[in-house]
Amino acid sequence: MNYTRSSALFTQAEQVIPGGVNSPVRAFKAVGGTPIFIKEAKGAYLIDEDHNQYIDYINSWGPMILGHAFKPVVDAVVEKTKKGTSFGTPTEIETQIAELAISMVPHIDMIRFVNSGTEACMSAVRLARGFTGKDKIVKFAGCYHGHSDSFLIQAGSGAVTFGSPNSPGVTQGTAKDTLLARYNSIEHVEQIIASNKNEIACIIIEPVAGNMGCIPPLKGFLNQLRDLCDANNILLIFDEVMTGFRLAKGGAQELYNIKADIVCFGKVIGGGLPVGAFAANKDIMSYLAPLGPVYQAGTLSGNPLAMAAGLAMLQELNKDTKIYKRLEEKTEFLHNGIAKVLNEMNIMHTINRVGSMISVHFSEDDVVDFESATKGNNETFKKFFHGLLNEGVYIAPSAFETWFVSDALTYQDLDHTIKAVKKVASTL
């Protein structure tokens, strides 16, 4: 592949944007090489500035569950744009998307829209603290909840990729209120609760972790967390920024039949525009300004274009009764195909998958937490990534990320991907 124009654009970008990117994982630091500049995308494919085409498994890191430039979403945004892009007043469409989201997701009565997953999680934690009157939070090593200060404590995603889990700029004062637990270890959570009696406001978790590769919750783990929270007056926050509207209409709450006290959304809920949201029952949400004392706000929150994109996306997911089954089948097909190839070639690996989230770890052991996720062979991953890219298959440029399967992918695309894996595997 020829990357001449991408390289030139990157050099130019580096002069004026730190690292040439507006979000670190885009920089290819973990895998080496020069990031590819995308010119446009349609359905399952990305087209770069040198006219190379790729089958896309990043899907904008999750939002594009129905593929790129999905017509109902594009049309809705174009129509809205003609009527003005922001008013800073209430608009009808905010209530429409709120009603629809609440009808799709269990256990929520009210929802507040923000502009990113980071804002959603940050606000959810503030609300939990305000509601319970307690300061400490529990997060899991390797889970990523955005770049708000209290989450940058052994965070996943780019924060691992760059080896700076505890970012400078996060004060000791903030860090001391974030307690770190091992994912999938209920014993560890019990210990933490026992030594911080009556001090913990909430436990925040990715119910299926997607920021250390994909790591499913072990059987019973989320139930046990729920019970611990109930017994200790702690709120359970599901960060469903990745899993919301992706694993099921009602996200992980529906998939695992577990009630969370506060749920955070991002990605799919915005249809590819900058949207996040957090939701809970009326009791909890009534603590939020202007009803209650916990402050939270946003100039562009509930922006009409963003709401139009999100509403069109949710309407589509709500009416297509087969979508989640179809996505799961496609992902299973991919899983089986890749596993067969890697097994035939005797390449050590573990594949984790839930619904349309999947990741390949170059490690023999089960990958169940942050520690086991870091045991994967990164050199093999780098070769795998670049090999696939060269074959026109674009996976996330880090072993600590999940691949997202979109409904735009055809079985022909999946076959092409498996053939590409076969070709690349012979070079690993």
Q: Does 401 bind ligand PMP (CB under 6 A)?
A: no
Given 200, 242, 263, 389, the residue binding ligand PMP (CB under 6 A): 242
Nearer to ligand PMP, 263 or 424 (CB): 263
Active site residue 144: yes
Closest CA to 206 of 215, 218, 198, 197: 215
Size of the residue set binding ligand PMP (CB under 6 A): 17
Q: What is the CA radius of gyration of the chain?
A: 21
Query: How far from the centroid of its chain's Cα atoms is residue 423's Cα?
Result: 29
Q: Does 370 bind ligand PMP (CB under 6 A)?
A: no
Nearer to ligand PMP, 253 or 380 (CB): 253
State the amino acid at position 137 in one-letter form.
Answer: I
Closest CA to 147 of 116, 111, 192: 116
Distance, in Å, from the CA atom of 63 to the CA atom of 268, rounded to the nearest integer, reads: 4
Footprint (CB under 6 A) of ligand PMP, residues 105-124:
116-118, 121
Given 48, 49, 94, 206, the residue binding ligand PMP (CB under 6 A): 206
Active site residue 267: yes
- Piece in contact with ligand PMP (CB under 6 A), picked from 132-140, 235-243, 244-252, 298-306: 235-243
Q: Does 20 bind ligand PMP (CB under 6 A)?
A: no
Question: From the CB of 349, what's the least distance to ligand PMP, in Å?
Answer: 23
Tokens linked to 186:
């209920």
Footprint (CB under 6 A) of ligand PMP, residues 256-275:
266
Distance, in Å, from the CA atom of 25 to the CA atom of 281, rounded to the nearest integer, reads: 35
Given 28, 54, 57, 144, the residue binding ligand PMP (CB under 6 A): 144
DSSP string, 323-353: HHHHHHHHHHHHHHHHHHHHHHTT---EEEE
Bridge partner residues of 361 (DSSP): 350
Q: Does 210 bind ligand PMP (CB under 6 A)?
A: yes
Could you check whether the bond before residue 290 is cis, i.e. omega within 30 degrees of 0? Answer: yes
Q: Are 134 and 196 contacting, i.e. CB atoms less than 8 angstroms apart?
A: no
Interacting residue ranges for ligand PMP, rule: CB under 6 A: 61, 116-118, 121, 144-146, 157, 206, 210-211, 239, 241-242, 266, 276
